[in-house]
A and B are shown apart, each in its own frame.
Chain A
Amino acid sequence: MTTVAGDGSRAYAIVHYLNQFAAGIGAEKSADLPPRWIDGPVGPGRLLQQALGSGGRVVGTIVCGDDYAAMRDAGAAGTILSFIKEAGADALVAGPAFGAGRYGSACSTICQACRERLAIPAVTAMHRHNPGVSVPGPTLIVPTGETALDMPEAVRAMARLALTLCRGEALGPAAAEGYLPTGVKKNIRAPLNGAGRATSMLLKKIAGAPFQTEIAVPRVDRVPPALPVDDLAQAAVALVTSGGIVPKGNPDRLESRRASRWLKYSIAGRTDLSADEFECIHGGFDGTEANKDPDRVTPIDALRILERNGEIGRLYDWMYVTTGNAAPVDRAQKFGRELADELRREGIRAVIFTAT
């Protein structure tokens, strides 16, 4: 609840959302942690409290495991919203999530649910390529770098925006206020009419001077769906994974996150992947179960059975491997193009792609 000081100044009640890692409760092994409430600020919440100053008070922190939030999003949101409501929050601040995909998606989903279902303003922060940015909004997202190096700046920006929203003040344009464009358009009075502004922009462009477009052309990278494969019983099928299954000891030193390349390993003649010979080096989830049986991520055993049954023509002799966590989008696009080119050259008709 908002508290009012003797001089009439207000301290708005802010609820902070964190994942298990940011809250210091655990890493991947705690990723299935159900939502829990902790009174007051935790971890980066202390920085948030500093940034809010006397204008706001972090009344509590909601912590939820990344997997729990991602895989039970409706259930997780219900519990989290009940915490926010019971706390009498004036605003929700979520994250910052930086480049962490599951965390970013959870932050965006909770912010959107908070705004829509409780009519409480919410703000989050993450890298502009975080999948959480694609969660349908509009959600107020402060752009950050990929890592926690940007923590102080991100938290300060979230605090400033949260207090602006608490006071019921209108936000200016995204570029001026420091958030990612939400797609919401508002009418404002401009000093020049459209023709004047367009001419001014054109003159700057001709002169090679910097200019700001008023409507950015969206750079949508939608890949048209491939045509169906109706003769799978004759088709060569390849196995590709971003789950980081590599030969034991990781002899090619594939990175466990932010992979710089993809690799390929022969699976010719193999009827499964044994735990003695292969392991999971993915840094974005707990690899214990995958290490016990790598077929759980790269299902060679089951694909061989489908091959024997004639349900697929043949399993291609090479398995393609990378790790997908924290992958910059441009690098992932490059991997995709390279893999598609190679698989096409080899006459592969379909791919089983196991991600996370």
Chain B
Amino acid sequence: MYSALHRIPLSLGVSRIVPCPLITCLLGDPTLPLDEERGRRIDMLRRGLVALRTPVQGPTCFPGE
């Protein structure tokens, strides 16, 4: 799960969480040129792929806190 309010899914028991910087623009950054913004989006999705490949015992943030 991608969430800018990651403490909420963490407290509710979501297993794999990727914290995001902005609630209004979850996987983006409007201050960046489009190519850079897309690059950042890809990086964030790769964090999610790492999460999906990683065994977890309970609610876990990627990267960890």
Contact = CB atoms under 8 A, between A and B. Distances in A.
Interface of A: 28, 31, 67, 70-71, 73, 101-102, 105, 131, 134-136, 221-223, 225-230, 232, 243, 285-290, 292-293, 295-297, 299, 301-303, 305-306, 311-312, 350, 352-356
A289 B15 contact: no
Contact of B26 (A135, A227, A243): A243
Interface residues of B, number: 39
A232 B24 contact: no
A311 B26 CA distance: 21
B25 A356 contact: no
- The main secondary structure of chain A at its interface with chain B is mixed
Contact of A355 (B1, B30, B37, B44): B1
A289 B23 contact: no
Interface of B: 1-5, 7-9, 11-13, 15-16, 21-28, 30, 34, 37-38, 41-42, 44-46, 48-49, 52-58
Contacts of A292: 30
Nearest to B39: A302
B13 A296 contact: no
Contact of A295 (B9, B41, B54, B56): B41
Nearest to B60: A225
12 contacts: A101-B8, A228-B56, A232-B52, A288-B24, A289-B25, A296-B27, A296-B37, A297-B26, A299-B41, A302-B42, A350-B52, A354-B1
B53 A223 contact: no
A142 B59 CA distance: 27
Given A71-B5, A101-B8, A356 B28 contact: no
B10 to A, nearest CB: 10
Interface centre among B26, B44, B53 (most CB of A within 10 A): B26
A131 B8 contact: yes
A312 to B, nearest CB: 7
B31 to A, nearest CB: 10
